[in-house]
Amino acid sequence: MPTSAAALTPSTTRRVPSWAAERRRGSTRSSSGWSGSSGDAPQSIASAGRASRWAGARTVAGFAPPLMALAVRTAMMTPTMTTTSTELTRTPSLLTDLDPPDPRTRAERRWWLTAGAAAALSLTVFLAAVVQLPYLAYRPGGAQRVEVAIDGAPNFPPEDGVAFTTVSTQRVTLLEALRGWIDDSIELSPTGNESRAERQRYNAQLMDLSKVHATAVALTYLGYPVTLVTSGTVVRDFAEGSPANGPLEIDDVIVAVDGAPVDRTDALRALLQVGGPGTAHVVTVERPAGSATRVDVEVTTFAPEEDPTRAIIGIIGEDRIVELDLPEGPDGREWDVTIDSGTVGGPSAGLAFALTIIDVLTPGELTGGHRVAVTGTMEIDGRVGPVGGGLQKSLAVRNAGYEAFLVPSDEHEAVEAAIGDDVEVIAVDTLQEALDALDSLGGNVASLEPAGTPDPT
């Protein structure tokens, strides 16, 4: 007989899914199992359910009972799996089950970030120190005593000769450019289109020409016969607003004016005076330089503000000298003038060269024993031309301890402001003014006489 509900005692506890409990509503159901001397009542319920399912399975699918029983058991296990899943979702937070981050991982990440930033900074500094910019830096150079030897003539080397000044030029990197923008003694200038080799070659040509001019002017001043033969005037630049800029081009060689050859140093200037300012002239140029090609262009002269009677075309020219005939010594050999300029280029030492040649060819001290530095070009007619780098040269002269500094008058004010009261700055525009300045310092200019040379012709 079935045992009453009061006589049953729970022996095991089984979790029942909610859907299963819903099916058993109205029956003897609990989350507890049953135990007792007999399990007829619960057994009959379970058996009835199983019998119904078995019958349905046989009728519908036609499978044997064992196989269908396996399918039923598998279906009945699903609530247990669902129950397990429900228990997992009740965990307060899955994040609490994760392992804490490893401190070593954070340290490695910081190390890589630091290393990457350091590498980027190092690369930037390296490029800034190596990659060159299209700019030249002009820095203070030095003051170098002029050394002249004249083979074939008596020499009187001075104890304290004049010195020429230099400016250091170098293409800059970004770091050097930054220094140039900060340091007032350094000037930056674009390099232009020419290469370094072309710039050096041009400066070397200017240096050679300055030696020729200095030699010719110095010997002419002392009364020695000198003959210069040119083959034209090279156009090096144009004055602002020049009417020649267009018909003429840079590096053109003017070989004739109105058919008359430009074959001596003052020929171009003399030929342009014909007709006065405002006259149109046919100018024959060699283009390109060194070729046999000749081109005729028309250029009209004008008068400069300082001299309304003089006719010019507004170019900066350079004589292309092809021959310089020097005096001959007692043995009949032509003098050989050697001027040591080292590796310095450019025309700015011309005045210093001319003064030294005069000093070497005459007894006594042209500087009166004083330390004198000089800068300025030497034109073939005895004029002193302006040069650049006045600030840098001033600092070089002051740092070297010179007493006096002769400069072109155009640069006197700027040089005097830069050099201060430490050095006496004297403005000169011609060779004669430079000699007068040395005479005022105690030099022997008043007693200059050529010695041991043939009479001028």
> Which has more confidence, 139 or 434?
434
Give residue 249's pLDDT band: very low, low, confident or very high (50, 70, 90): very high
In the predicted model, what is the mean pLDDT of residues 153-164?
A: 91
- Cα torsion through 17, 19, 25, 31, rounded to 10: 0
Task: Count the domains in the chain.
Answer: 4
- Name the residue among 87, 88, 57 with its Cα closest to residue 73: 57
Is the domain of 279 the same as that of 376? Answer: no
Shared domain check, 219 and 361: yes
Q: What is the pLDDT of residues 1-16, one digit of tens each?
A: 444 443 334 444 444 4
Residues 43-96 pLDDT 10s: 444 444 444 444 444 444 444 444 444 444 444 444 444 444 444 444 444 444
Q: Do the domain assignments include residue 456?
A: yes
Tell whether 264 is covered by a domain: yes
Nearest to 337, CA basis, from 205, 218, 201, 204: 218
Structure-token match 């740092």, residue found: 399
349 shares its domain with 402: yes
Say if residue 337's pLDDT is above 90.
yes
Residue 173 lies in a domain: no
Which domain, by its residues, includes 119? 103-130
pLDDT at 433: 95
Residues 321, 420: one domain?
A: no
Cβ neighbours of residue 428 closer than 8 Å, sequence gap 6 or more: 351, 376, 384, 406, 407, 408, 409, 434, 437
Residues 59 and 107 reside in one and the same domain: no
Q: What is the pLDDT of residue 103?
A: 64
Q: Where is mean pLDDT largest: 99-103, 124-128, 297-301?
A: 297-301
Q: In whole angstroms, give the CA distance from residue 408 to residue 427.
A: 5
Amino acid identity at 191: T
Which of 81-85, 227-231, 401-405 shows the highest mean pLDDT?
Answer: 401-405
CATH code, 269: 2.30.42.10
Q: Based on the domain organization, do 349 and 321 belong to the same domain?
A: no
Q: What confidence score (pLDDT) does residue 121 get?
A: 81
Percentage with pLDDT > 90 across the chain: 35
State the average pLDDT over residues 397-410.
93
Closest CA to 341 of 226, 211, 234, 175: 211
Per-residue confidence band for 375, with pLDDT thresholds at 50, 70 and 90? very high
Band of the pLDDT at 39, cuts 50, 70, 90? Answer: very low
Output the pLDDT for position 101. 60
Q: Are residues 337 and 297 part of one domain?
A: no
Give the pLDDT of residue 100. Answer: 61
Are 334 and 307 in the same domain? no
pLDDT of residue 220 exceeding 60: yes
Chain segment 260-299, per-residue pLDDT in tens: 999 887 889 999 999 999 999 999 999 988 889 999 999 9
Cα separations in angstroms, 175 against 11, 135, 167, 180: 91, 12, 20, 9
| pLDDT for the residue numbered 113 | 82
**Alpha carbon distance 401, 422 (integer Å):** 9
Average pLDDT, the chain: 77
CATH number for 434: 3.30.230.10
Which residues are within 8 A (CB) of 84 and not within 5 positions of it... i.e. 6 or more apart? none
Query: 39 or 92, which is more confident?
Result: 92
CA–CA gap between residue 335 and residue 40 (Å, rounded):
148
Mean pLDDT of 391-414: 91
**HSE (side-chain half, CA atoms, 13 Å) at 249:** 9
DSSP 11: -
Same domain, 406 and 275: no
Short-list 159, 450, 213, CA closest to 351:
213
Q: Which of 32-41, 285-294, 306-315 has the lowest mean pLDDT?
A: 32-41
Residue 437, pLDDT above cutoff 80: yes
Whether 1 maps to a domain, the answer reads no
Quote the pLDDT of residue 424: 94
Least confidently predicted of 108-122, 247-261, 269-283: 108-122
| Residue 115 shares a structural domain with residue 29 | no
Question: Are 292 and 218 found together in one domain?
Answer: no
Q: In this structure, are 341 and 218 located in the same domain?
A: yes
Q: pLDDT tens digit string along 171-199? A: 777 777 777 677 777 777 777 777 778 77
pLDDT confidence of 408, banded at 50, 70, 90?
Answer: very high
Q: How far apart are the first and last CA of the chain?
A: 167
Residues whose CB is less than 8 angstroms from the CB of residue 231 and which lie 6 or more positions away in sequence, other chains included: 253, 255, 263, 320, 322
pLDDT (mean) for 314-323: 85
Q: What is the C-alpha to C-alpha distance for residues 232 and 285, in angstroms, rounded to an integer?
A: 9
Among 59-63, 337-341, 428-432, which is the least confidently predicted range?
Answer: 59-63
> Residue 33 pLDDT more than 70?
no
11 or 255, which is more confident? 255
Q: Which band of pLDDT confidence, cut at 50, 70 and 90, is reported for residue 104?
A: low
What single letter denotes the amino acid at residue 48?
Answer: A
Scanning the structure block, which residue is given the tokens 């001028």? 456
- What's the pLDDT at 64? 43
DSSP code, position 27: S
Is residue 205 predicted with pLDDT exceeding 50?
yes
